A = this chain, B = another copy of it.
Amino acid sequence: MTMGAVQEALAGLPLVDHHCHGAVTADLAPAAFESLLTEGEARPGSGISAFDTPAGVAVRRHCAPLLDLPRHAPAADYLARRTALGWAEVNRRLLSAAAAGVFCVDTGYAPHPLTSPAELARAAGATAYEVVRLETVAEAVARAGVEPGEYARAFRAAAEQAVRRPGVVAVKSVAAYRTGLALDPARPADDEVTGSARRWLAAGGRLADPVLIRHLLWTAVDLGLPLQLHTGFGDDDIRLHRADPALLTDWLHLTRGTVPVLLLHCWPYQRNAAFLAAVFEQVYLDVGLALHHAGPVRARAILEEALEITPFRKLLYSSDAYGVAEFHHLGALCFRKGLAALLQDRVDADELSLTDALRIAAWTGRDNARRLYGLPASDPARD
């Protein structure tokens, strides 16, 4: 198959993966690897393999050759070869294949031993920046011990300290997981925060109090950095209908003119996210996570919906890969293939000029993120 000009341009574009996680720095037993292939629960004894999914098919098709296996290699062969190569070599091969210039890494979620941003960058031959997950900051404040009346100040101070570290370009919230997005949009009053902090600090556990989550979101506004928000698709801890980004509308009205808001993942609410990006200056979106879970064929369809009415300055690329470097690679591959096919067809139908298509490819794959996070055009190595 000959490549169109858009395909070529996207194939050669060093992407900015503006939201991902590290790759595991250990060899993974088959069950552990499979559990990282799915957002679902492990299914020991169920006879259902996590390879029997669109993501599993995509791994066997597109990652197997990078491990010297034929396309569509059986799952058992894939697992065996992965083990034989060892995690470091596997990570190196798959992360380089992603051909991203930049990774922005959420360092606040790490149930497995993971590459640091610097290690990820080194393995990939790329640059890494860091995204600070605010719930993790708040929970560290609670664990360290704080008086309820001091919680707001202590959290704010800890967050400011966290974002002052070199390489930090954004903050992130998983409010969608903790309370859902149908929150009272207003900034909570001090005494509300103190009361909720008292209850949470006494009870312990993860941060899921609606007042404190609102407070966290408003603290993000005060910090002044771009704010990444989980929306839509995730693991079974999500209530999908409460992760619809449209639920943020009232809050977006109140925070207009402050920080950029990046709606992550969005699937299956990519059209709702596109609406918000079309009408609010500060809103941006990506369809990370869904890309590699749906695979390259459907990635195009998801991108078509994500771009249906979206200003071309508003779509970004992310993989949201976690744990297995297969997903850092597949995310990039699905984005490149899906977007290229979509744009090339429009060029071929004379609905879009080639110049515009190339501009849209470069914007969404790299330049929108650079612009938003203030990344240097030259992608200097991080450390």
Interface residues of A (CB under 8 A from B): 38-41, 43, 46-48, 50, 52-55, 57-58, 61, 71-72, 233, 235-236, 238-241, 244, 246-247, 249-250, 252-253, 267-268, 271-272, 275-276, 278-281, 290, 293-298, 301-302, 304, 307-313, 345-346, 349-353, 355-356
Identify the closest chain B residue to A353 (Cβ).
B72
Q: Which residue of B lies closest to A241 (CB)?
A: B246
Seed contacts A48-B281, A298-B308; 11 additional CB < 8 Å A-B pairs = A39-B279, A52-B311, A52-B312, A57-B351, A61-B352, A236-B280, A240-B276, A241-B247, A267-B271, A290-B309, A294-B309
Return the contact of A40 from the options B39, B280, B301 (Cβ within 8 A).
B280
State whether A293 and B309 are in contact (beta carbons under 8 Å apart), knowing that A40-B281, A41-B280 are contacts in the complex: yes
- A304 cross-chain contacts in B, Cβ below 8 A: 298, 301
Closest 3 CB pairs of A and B: A268-B271, A72-B353, A236-B279
CB distance from A182 to the nearest CB of B (A): 9
- B residues in contact with A249, CB < 8 Å: 236, 238-240
Would B240 and A278 count as touching, CB distance under 8 A?
no
Closest partner residue, chain B, to A359 (CB atom): B52
Whole-angstrom distance between the Cβ of A352 and the nearest chain B Cβ: 6
> With the chains together, A345 CA to B296 CA distance in Å?
13
Distance (whole angstroms) from the CB of A239 to the closest CB of chain B:
5
Query: B278, A40: Cβ atoms under 8 Å?
Result: yes
Q: Are A295 and B236 touching (Cβ within 8 A)?
A: no
A272–B353 CB distance below 8 A: no
Residue of B nearest to A257 (CB): B41
- CA separation between A239 and B276, bound complex, in Å? 10
Chain B residues with CB under 8 Å of A54's CB are 307-310
- The smallest beta-carbon distance between A85 and chain B, in angstroms, is 23
- Is there contact, CB below 8 Å, between A239 and B250? yes
Q: Kindly report which residue of chain B lies nearest to residue A271, judged by CB atoms.
A: B268
Q: A61-B350, A356-B57 are in contact. Are A240 and B272 (CB under 8 A)?
A: yes
